[in-house]
């Protein structure tokens, strides 16, 4: 019961982030960083890319919550497509970007940075989005076998998961230190 109340309160706080100018400005800057980082994505094939723009989406979820994280993820995906179309537009990928920001916010918003939390957040995004939804959408879009796409992506996830998780954890620790300094020692703002 108490955990349910904490979760409801966290969602209320996350919804309030939409009304705070500093949160909107910060989320906008993270969205811009998301777009910039996407230009440094390594495209290995039509079905496989390696990039680090997820860090900006995760930072948005961590700092501003699952709701603003989802909005920033979706807006960032649309802006990236408008600036540099990478194949046909598909709404499923925008949904994935929103879901990614939401999941990072769900795991990280208003919570102390812990390695296990970073692992769980990245693992959930990797399993749900990178290994299920993305291959499903690529299969629909390109008419390739879901199993084939999933196999290729599983290999990439196995290689990149430790790297991505280490980067995510390092970034979260840095953001936590900056936030604690700005708030005078308090984790919450």
Top-confidence residue, 45 or 106 = 106
Cα separation, 175 vs 105, whole angstroms: 14
Domain count, the chain: 1
In a domain, 91, yes or no: yes
In a domain, 151, yes or no: yes
Average pLDDT, the chain: 90
In a domain, 188, yes or no: no
Q: Which two tokens stand for residue 14?
A: 């996350």
Neighbours of 101 (CB within 10 A): 36
Q: What is the CATH number of the domain that holds 103?
A: 1.10.1760.20
Cα atoms found within 13 Å of the Cα of residue 163, Cβ hemisphere only: 9
Helix (H) / strand (E) containing 128: none
Query: Which single residue is written with the structure tokens 């290689």?
Result: 159
| Domain boundaries, position 125 | 2-182
CB 72 within 8 A of CB 94: no
- The model's pLDDT over 94-116, given as tens digits with 9 standing for 90+, comes to 999 999 999 999 999 999 999 99
pLDDT confidence tier of residue 10, bands split at 50, 70 and 90: confident
Q: Facing residues of 43 across strands?
A: 49
In a domain, 147, yes or no: yes
Is the pLDDT confidence value at 1 over 90? Answer: no
Helix (H) / strand (E) containing 43: strand 42-43
| Angle between helix 146-182 and helix 54-83 axes, rounded to 10 deg | 120
132-147 average pLDDT score: 91
Query: Which single residue is written with the structure tokens 């796409």?
Result: 149
Helix (H) / strand (E) containing 50: strand 49-50
Q: Which has the closest alpha carbon to 127: 106, 148, 96, 105?
A: 96
Is the pLDDT confidence value at 78 over 80? Answer: yes
In a domain, 40, yes or no: yes
Distances from the Cα of 61 to the Cα of 15, 82, 103, 179, angstroms: 12, 23, 8, 14
Is the pLDDT confidence value at 189 over 60? Answer: no
pTM for the model: 0.89
38 φ, ψ to 5°? Answer: -65, -20
pLDDT confidence tier of residue 50, bands split at 50, 70 and 90: confident
């Amino acid at each position: 019961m108490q955990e349910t109340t904490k979760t409801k309160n966290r969602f209320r706080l996350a919804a309030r982030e939409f009304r705070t100018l500093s949160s909107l400005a910060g989320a906008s800057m993270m969205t811009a960083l998301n777009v910039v980082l996407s230009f440094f994505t390594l495209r290995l094939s039509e079905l496989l890319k390696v990039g680090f723009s997820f860090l900006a989406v995760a930072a948005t979820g961590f700092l501003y919550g699952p709701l603003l994280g989802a909005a920033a993820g979706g807006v960032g995906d649309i802006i990236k497509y408008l600036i540099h179309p990478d194949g046909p537009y598909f709404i499923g990928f925008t949904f994935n970007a929103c879901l990614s920001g939401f999941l990072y916010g769900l795991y990280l918003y208003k919570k102390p940075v812990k390695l296990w939390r970073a692992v769980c957040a990245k693992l959930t995004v990797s399993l749900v989005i990178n290994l299920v939804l993305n291959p499903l959408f690529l299969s629909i879009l390109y008419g390739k076998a879901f199993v084939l796409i999933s196999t290729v992506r599983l290999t990439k996830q196995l290689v990149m998961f430790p790297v991505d998780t280490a980067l995510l954890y390092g970034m979260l620790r840095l953001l936590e230190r900056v936030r604690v300094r700005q708030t005078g020692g308090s984790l919450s703002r």
